[in-house]
């Protein structure tokens, strides 16, 4: 049934396809949809600009495929911090240096032989200086990262 609103005619998709001379078949396994002609069975004239033959359409997924990033395994935990070099790194925001000062103050009495290194300067985003990762890994056994604000 067609609903008429002023000069516009609104029709359902099913009626549109029927008027076009096509019947939508069930989707096949995979991503192919088959359309079969109905015009040959119901009408003798073809008002369409294309012949009433079998038409195959390939339906693609809009999701796409994104390869997941490769992850590195977590490093094994240290059994204790005695005699270890521990880098104290912060993101240059206010409060981060104060936090690391407090962490060092709490750890020094428990691990008097541990060394605390503060030689690494960073930006807010550590990913901006990836060349520092190797330098940090060679210089220390562990690190504590403090974030400010």
Please list the pLDDT of the chain residue by residue as tens digits (149 residues). Answer: 455 555 556 677 767 666 666 555 544 444 344 444 444 444 556 666 766 677 788 888 788 788 888 888 888 889 999 999 999 888 788 888 889 999 999 999 999 999 999 877 666 566 667 777 788 888 889 988 888 77
Domain contains 67: no
Q: What is the DSSP string of the chain?
A: --EEETTEEE--HHHHHHHHTEEEPPPPSSSEEEEEE-HHHH-SS--SSS-SS-EEEEPPPSS---PPPP-PPPPPPPS--TT-EEEEEE-S-TTHHHHHHHHHHHHHHH-TT-EEE------S-GGG-THHHHHHHHH-SEEEEE---
Domain contains 129: yes
* Same domain membership, residue 90 and residue 52: no
Q: Are strands 85-90 and 115-117 parallel, antiparallel or unpaired?
A: parallel
Domain contains 3: no
Domain contains 73: no
Domain contains 79: no
Residue 14 CA to its chain's centroid (Å) = 37
Q: How many domains does the chain have?
A: 2
* Same domain membership, residue 98 and residue 141: yes
* Same domain membership, residue 39 and residue 92: no
Domain contains 23: yes
Task: Give the residue numbers spanning the domain of 49.
Answer: 9-58
Domain contains 53: yes
Q: What is the pTM of this model?
A: 0.48
Domain contains 68: no
Report the candidate in 41, 66, 65 with the shortest Cα–Cα distance to residue 52. Answer: 41
* Same domain membership, residue 131 and residue 89: yes
């Amino acid at each position: 049934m067609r609903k008429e609103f002023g000069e516009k005619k609104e029709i359902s998709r099913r009626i549109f396809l029927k008027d076009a001379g096509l019947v939508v078949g069930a989707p096949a396994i995979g991503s192919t949809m088959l359309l079969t002609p109905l015009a040959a069975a119901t009408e003798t004239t073809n008002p369409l600009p294309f012949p009433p033959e079998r038409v195959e359409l390939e339906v693609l997924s809009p999701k796409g495929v994104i390869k997941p990033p490769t992850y590195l395994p977590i490093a094994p935990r240290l059994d204790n911090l005695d005699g270890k070099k521990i880098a104290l790194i912060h993101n240059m925001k206010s409060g981060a240096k104060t936090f690391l000062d407090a962490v060092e103050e709490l750890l020094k009495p428990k691990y008097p032989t541990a060394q605390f290194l503060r030689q690494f300067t960073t930006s807010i985003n550590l990913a901006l200086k990836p060349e520092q990762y190797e330098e940090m890994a060679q210089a220390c056994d562990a690190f504590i990262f403090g974030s400010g604000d």
